């Protein structure tokens, strides 16, 4: 029973870290992901990629990044945490994590990619570039386990502080993204529209590789390191909320009504915006 309780607590902690990272990542990704995808796939200069998007496109894409991140980020953190409890080598652990994560979430990833690029979405696109993506995620999982363990063991006391959690997660994710970058570049090459495909030699120029890797790495590192710092506070808040709801059961109804009210307001605003757009 105690083991089950401990596992449940660890799953909640992993999901909390992923959820906080999802919110931070959604804001950053809504702005940066359309830019990163243009730099990665179209191989355009950073300035040109920035000029191709506007505020309306960012706001629209945020509606995609937030719900999809709330699936992807917690899911990876939970899978990675569960795999860390299994006594196998970091390489095998990273391989299993990468395969499970990619197979389950690639349709979401490809859906987001095509949304960010303003491209049509068909069923055949959902598992596009599967092999390089799973290869990338396996390399990421391996590096994440190795780098995370190394940084924690180097100074456990520092790792338990807010600064330590942020720094260790930032550099763990940074190392993982850089290590898995070749897989990401091959994925980008395979995602090109066939009628606008760039030649292999031109696509893999070192300057373009560095440009897309640096931007993507900074987004992931910042998102998850912020999540690592906020997780203990989220867990504390959730614990207090549970205790309060246990004593005040009517609060559940109030929360449901509040969320329903917010949803209806959002749908109403969306309808008004659509009508204004039609009139224009």
The H or E element spanning position 169 is helix 162-179
Torsion 151-157-158-159 (CA) sign: positive
- For 5-28, the pLDDT digits (tens) are 566 677 767 776 667 767 777 777
pTM above 0.85, yes or no: no
The tokens describing 139, both together, are 């390399």
Average pLDDT over residues 200-204: 84
d(CA 231, CA 237): 10
CA–CA–CA angle 203, 207, 211 (5° rounding): 95
Average pLDDT over residues 49-67: 84
Confidence of residue 154 (pLDDT cuts 50, 70, 90): very high
Q: Is the pLDDT of residue 3 over 70?
A: no
Residue 112: which residues within 8 A CB-CB, separation 6 or more? 33, 64, 65, 68
The H or E element spanning position 113 is helix 90-117
> What value does the mean pLDDT of the chain take?
82
Residue 59: which residues within 8 A CB-CB, separation 6 or more? 30
Q: Is the pLDDT of residue 163 over 60?
A: yes
């Amino acid at each position: 029973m105690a083991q089950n309780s401990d596992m449940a607590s660890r799953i909640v902690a992993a999901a909390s870290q992923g959820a906080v990272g999802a919110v931070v990542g959604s804001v950053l990704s809504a702005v940066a992901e359309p830019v990163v995808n243009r730099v990665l796939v179209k191989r355009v200069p950073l300035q040109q990629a920035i000029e191709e998007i506007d505020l309306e496109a960012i706001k629209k894409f945020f509606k995609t990044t937030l719900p999809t991140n709330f699936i992807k980020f917690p899911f990876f953190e939970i899978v990675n945490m569960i795999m860390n409890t299994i006594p196998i080598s970091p390489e095998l652990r990273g391989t299993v994590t990468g395969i499970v994560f990619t197979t389950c979430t690639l349709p979401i990833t490809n859906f987001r990619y095509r949304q960010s690029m303003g491209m049509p979405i068909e069923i055949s696109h959902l598992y596009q570039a599967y092999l390089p993506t799973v290869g990338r995620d396996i390399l990421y999982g391996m590096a994440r386990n190795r780098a995370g363990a190394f940084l924690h063991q180097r100074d456990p006391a520092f790792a338990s502080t807010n600064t330590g959690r942020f720094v260790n997660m930032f550099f763990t994710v940074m190392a993982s993204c850089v290590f898995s970058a070749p897989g990401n570049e091959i994925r980008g090459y395979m995602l090109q529209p066939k009628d606008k495909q760039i030649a292999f030699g031109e696509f893999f120029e070192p300057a373009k590789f560095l440009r897309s890797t640096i931007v993507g790495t900074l987004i992931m590192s910042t998102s998850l390191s912020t999540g690592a710092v906020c997780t203990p506070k989220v867990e504390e808040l959730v614990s207090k909320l549970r205790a309060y709801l246990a004593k005040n059961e009517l609060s559940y109804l109030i929360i449901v009504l509040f969320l329903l009210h917010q949803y209806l307001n959002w749908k109403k605003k969306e309808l008004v915006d659509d009508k204004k757009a039609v009139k224009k």
